[in-house]
Amino acid sequence: MSDHFAHPAYPVGLRLTGRRVVVLGGGTVAQRRLPALLAAGADVLVIAPSATPSVEAMAEAGELRWERRAYRPGDLDGAWYAVVATDDAGTNAAASAEAEERRVWCVRSDDADAATAWTPATGRSEGVTVAVLTGRDPRRSAAVRDAVVEGLRDGTLTAPRHRARRAGVALVGGGPGDPDLITVRGRRLLAEADVVIADRLGPRDLLDELPPHVEVIDAAKIPYGRAMAQEAINAALVEHARAGRFVVRLKGGDPYVFGRGMEEAQALAEAGIPVTVVPGISSSVSVPGAAGIPVTHRGVAHEFTVVSGHVAPGDPRSLVDWAALAKLRGTLVMLMAVERIGAIAEALVEHGRAPDTPVAVVQEGTMAGQRRVDATLATVARTVEEEGVRPPAVIVVGEVVGVNRAGTGR
């Protein structure tokens, strides 16, 4: 047999939907290869005496068939493709020889020279599959793959689209503020935008990366009366989308966690404009985490509740049952509550929460100006005033506040 490395491999995309693929071995190599084979729609048969928990779970879920035994001659009969990845060199050699005899393309995990096919480093971004082969240097293949995929995802690597431009509006959750915490999909859609309508709590640093032709609109500066704020934003979204522009509504946190995302989605749907919703990392869990506070912790809190504090207890507009919340033993996370924390703390204590319950106030979480102020329900109002805490801030109430400081949370 000629040296496989004498000539470059011929790249090809295998269409494996409904076609039999045999995987010999159930270890970590098989575990890495199986998801892509299943995503390709292959009819996968795993032959191995044992398997990793992940491979076993795929079999139990019916995603593939698993025969718990060693390889036997004839196992590649009817296969279109084979992955040979056992920990026995003799078995691998025998299976590879059978593949050669039956003209089944075969990947070998232990000996690339003896294989008839190589697995490229593969990545995907919005319908584009990137596959990289560098022969004897798989780490370089992975590095090149990662660079290309990341460039496609974040918009730093652009390529002309020979199809219709994206239309409509994307409601993108930008995360808690740190630009690195936006989702991959959110960043990619942002790079495709013609118009960006941004909240002040979104990841503002990302706006500087947009090309000059992108129109950036500060939602806080859209002309409107106080009572018409959301209606004016809805109207701006509809107006720009109807003009044929792709609009990204960049919001802080998650669009549907106190972000009025559904109101905007409904207004766009009523106008007949397609909407894409991209979830974001909510500040309700990410900001406490960034400050060293787990919202749940084994033996401390088995639940957490997220509450908006923009309306004080006792206000007829309030939809929060503060008496019920005070009786819960878990963690209470409050957003938009800095200005009313005094009344909220009083209500919680009045309805049964202990005055010495730990409280942490995290201002500008995940941002360069992040700071954490600790108190109790009895002292938090005074502490917030004395420390000059201002929004945006997330307030955490519960025993989890002291987990890290007690040395048990690391």
Q: How far apart are CA 277 and CA 173, in angstroms?
A: 8
* Axis-axis angle for helices 229-242, 261-270 (nearest 10): 50
List b or e across 39-77, with b for residues whose CB sees 16 or more CB atoms inside 10 angstroms: ebebbbbbbbeebbeebbebbeeeebebeeeebeeebbe
DSSP 190-209: HHH-SEEEE-TTS-GGGGGG
How would you class 370 by CB atoms within 10 Å of its CB: exposed for 0-12, middle for 13-18, buried for 19 or more? middle
Q: How far is CA 282 from CA 70, 255, 337, in A?
A: 48, 9, 16
Instruction: Answer yes or no: are the C-beta atoms of 153 and 124 closer than 8 Å.
Output: no
**Known active-site residue 221:** yes
- 275: three-class secondary structure by DSSP: strand
List b or e across 224-262, with b for residues whose CB sees 16 or more CB atoms inside 10 angstroms: eeeeeeeeebbebbbebbeeebbbbbbbbbbbbbbbbbe
Instruction: Answer yes or no: are the C-beta atoms of 120 and 11 closer than 8 Å.
Output: yes
Distance of CA 331 to the CA centre of its chain: 24
Q: How far apart are CA 78 and CA 319, in angstroms?
A: 63
Q: How far apart are CA 256 and CA 71, in angstroms?
A: 51
How would you class 307 by CB atoms within 10 Å of its CB: exposed for 0-12, middle for 13-18, buried for 19 or more? buried
What residue has token string 């859609």? 189
Q: How far apart are CA 26 and CA 13, in angstroms?
A: 24
Instruction: Answer yes or no: are the C-beta atoms of 145 and 121 closer than 8 Å.
Output: yes
**Known active-site residue 154:** no
Q: How big is the chain, counted in residues? A: 410
Catalytic-role residue among 199, 251, 254, 374: 199
Contacts of 225 (CB under 8 A, 6+ apart): none
Q: In what order do the strands lie in the sheet with 275-278?
A: 215-218, 195-198, 247-251, 169-173, 275-278
Residues involved in catalysis? 199, 221
